[in-house]
Amino acid sequence: MSVRSDIELLRQVPLFADVDPVQLQVLVFSSERVDVGPDDILFAAGSVVGAGHLVLKGQGAVLKPKVGEEGGEPEQVALVEAGAFLGELAMIANLPASVTVRANTQLKVLRIGHELFLRVCSEFPEVGAKVLQALTHRLDTSLEDLRQVQAHFDRARPLGGT
């Protein structure tokens, strides 16, 4: 893929949708391209990945450890294909991964490292502001969804007939 097509793919990610294409070009051009073979792990739950990953080509499985089953088979919770962005919090805050991502096919990804992201944000503060704005919007939406779920629980009748 070309840098231009990688930029367009990154612009489709809500986190980067409002970022200036020139600034996205800096991110894309400076990022590492990684190939992952079928059945190989891109990153594992609990590991400090230190990067976000834009899937450029291929398909992968997002696996989450089953609650209460130490060492058991993880459960597949999603499939990812070109355009998926994985590890936002690892890229922004260097937090450990909460899921494992395994390649189902040959997977090509663009790896945007934490240090690179911070460097771009320091050189172009508007990038950080746009990303923060996108995260804030997602958080607001999630909180509203939780409020609606809470309202359903509040209206529900208790079990046991009282």
Strand, coil or helix: 54: strand
The more confident residue out of 18 and 159 is 18
Quote the CA–CA distance of 157 and 147 in Å, as a whole number. 18
Predicted TM-score (pTM) of the model is: 0.82
SS3 159: coil
Give the side-chain half-sphere CA count within 13 A for 71: 0
Model confidence at 162: pLDDT above 60: no
The pLDDT value given to residue 97: 93
Cα→Cα distances 119→30, 70, 152, Å: 11, 38, 44
* Spans of all domains in the chain: 3-155
Interval 32-46 mean pLDDT: 96
State the pLDDT at residue 152.
Answer: 81
Where residue 62 falls among pLDDT bands split at 50, 70, 90?
A: very high
pLDDT above 90 (res 54): yes
- For domain 3-155, give the CATH superfamily: Jelly Rolls (2.60.120.10)
Q: Determine the pLDDT at residue 117.
A: 93
Handedness of CA 132, 135, 141, 146 (dihedral sign): negative
Mean of the per-residue pLDDT values for the chain? Answer: 90
CB atoms within 10 A of CB 138: 13
Is 117:27 a contact under the CB 8 Å cutoff?
yes
